Amino acid sequence: LEQSVASQHLAILRKAGIVSTKRESKFIYYTINKKRIAAIEEFVSKLVG
């Protein structure tokens, strides 16, 4: 997986609120937003019945 591809996917996840970022120096750390994941799981569960 190329760095540019991973970066693009992480940007999409960040815009969707699924991950948050923290910048330290030249590094960016990504953290999963567990509340957002739970909300998505609930939404999908309601869709499939």
| C-alpha distances in Å from residue 44, one per residue of 23, 34, 36 | 32, 15, 12
Domain limits of the chain?
3-48
Q: What is the reported pLDDT for 49?
A: 86
Displacement of CA 11 from its chain's centroid (Å): 8
Flag whether the pTM goes above 0.75: yes
Tens-place pLDDT, residues 6-17:
999 999 999 999
CATH number assigned to the domain covering 3-48: 1.10.10.10
Bridge-based pairing state of the strands 27-32 and 19-24: antiparallel
